[in-house]
Amino acid sequence: MDDSYLKEFDAEIKQVIGNTIVLDRTAFYPASGGQPTDTGKIITNGKEFVVSNVVKQDGEILHQLSSMDGLNVGESVRGVIDWGRRYTLMRHHTAAHVLSGVFNKEAGVLITGNQLDIEKSRIDFSLENFDREQMARYFEIANELVAKDLSVSVYYISREEAEKNPSLAKLATGLPAGIQNIRVVDIVGFDAQADGGTHVKSLIEIGKIEFVSAENKGKNNRRIYYTLK
């Protein structure tokens, strides 16, 4: 949450539940908010265990392992994230914020859904006019912003403070329910959003955002796909 570039960490096994473990701390990102799970490995006593899926359940982060052979509560482990995958997802996630910021500023749209992936990602939003040329223009604006290499900072504000700034919630559903400390991902000088994902620290890391396709998903519901080069 505070250091998206943490690739390895030491931790202790707090709980073993089925074929999953809970650690006292973790840098693995559980699938949530349209950002897919991290994968990687857990190492202990010279043995490696593949982490194939990470989910959040009842406030705990469960690491699903390929095998549980010899893993016990209290054991010290080293966690290693598949950095290639995660870094690509970070680039895609920050790109999603650049695009949704541009679409919001240019056309006043709200985001109704998104799904990031390492090959291509998608964003759904409410937009009455469905004009591919206009969308291509929005991608140009997004790439101009990337070229400016704005920095991205992450900080927390109170819910009270967040509610005073409606532009923080680009999701049609508004701010996340029941959370007092709102995490803000701020593309400094462009757009700040309430968000729980992992992001690159400067826009240049995104590379080039390419418009793959757009789909009409019904009245006021549009879907775009993008990829990164």
Alpha carbons within 13 angstroms on the beta-carbon side of residue 188 total: 10
Which residues fall within 8 angstroms of residue 139, CB to CB, at 6 or more apart?
A: 99, 209, 210, 211, 226
Task: Indicate the residue among 20 and 114 with the shorter CB distance to Zn ion.
Answer: 114
Shortest distance, CB of residue 68 to Zn ion, whole angstroms? Answer: 33
Contact present, 27 and 7 (Cβ < 8 Å): yes
Task: Indicate the residue among 32 and 52 with the shorter CB distance to Zn ion.
Answer: 32
Task: Indicate the residue among 22 and 157 with the shorter CB distance to Zn ion.
Answer: 157
Shortest distance, CB of residue 114 to Zn ion, whole angstroms? Answer: 7
Shortest distance, CB of residue 77 to Zn ion, whole angstroms? Answer: 29
Shortest distance, CB of residue 195 to Zn ion, whole angstroms? Answer: 4
- The whole-angstrom separation of Cα 213 and Cα 169 is 25
Q: For Zn ion, which residue has the nearest CB? A: 195
Extract the tokens encoding 33: 């908010």
Contact present, 52 and 39 (Cβ < 8 Å): yes
Task: Indicate the residue among 54 and 192 with the shorter CB distance to Zn ion.
Answer: 192
| End-to-end alpha carbon distance in the chain | 26
Shortest distance, CB of residue 10 to Zn ion, whole angstroms? Answer: 28
Alpha carbons within 13 angstroms on the beta-carbon side of residue 128 total: 2
Task: Indicate the residue among 77 and 186 with the shorter CB distance to Zn ion.
Answer: 186
Task: Indicate the residue among 101 and 197 with the shorter CB distance to Zn ion.
Answer: 197
- φ/ψ region of 10 (left if φ > 0, alpha if ψ in -120 to 50, else beta) reads beta
Q: Which residues bind Zn ion (CB under 5 A)?
A: 195, 197
Shortest distance, CB of residue 40 to Zn ion, whole angstroms? Answer: 21
Residue 144 φ then ψ, to 5°: -65, -40
Give bridge partners of residue 114 from the DSSP assignment. 123
Q: For the chain, where are the alpha helices, taking DSSP H only?
A: 83-107, 132-147, 159-163
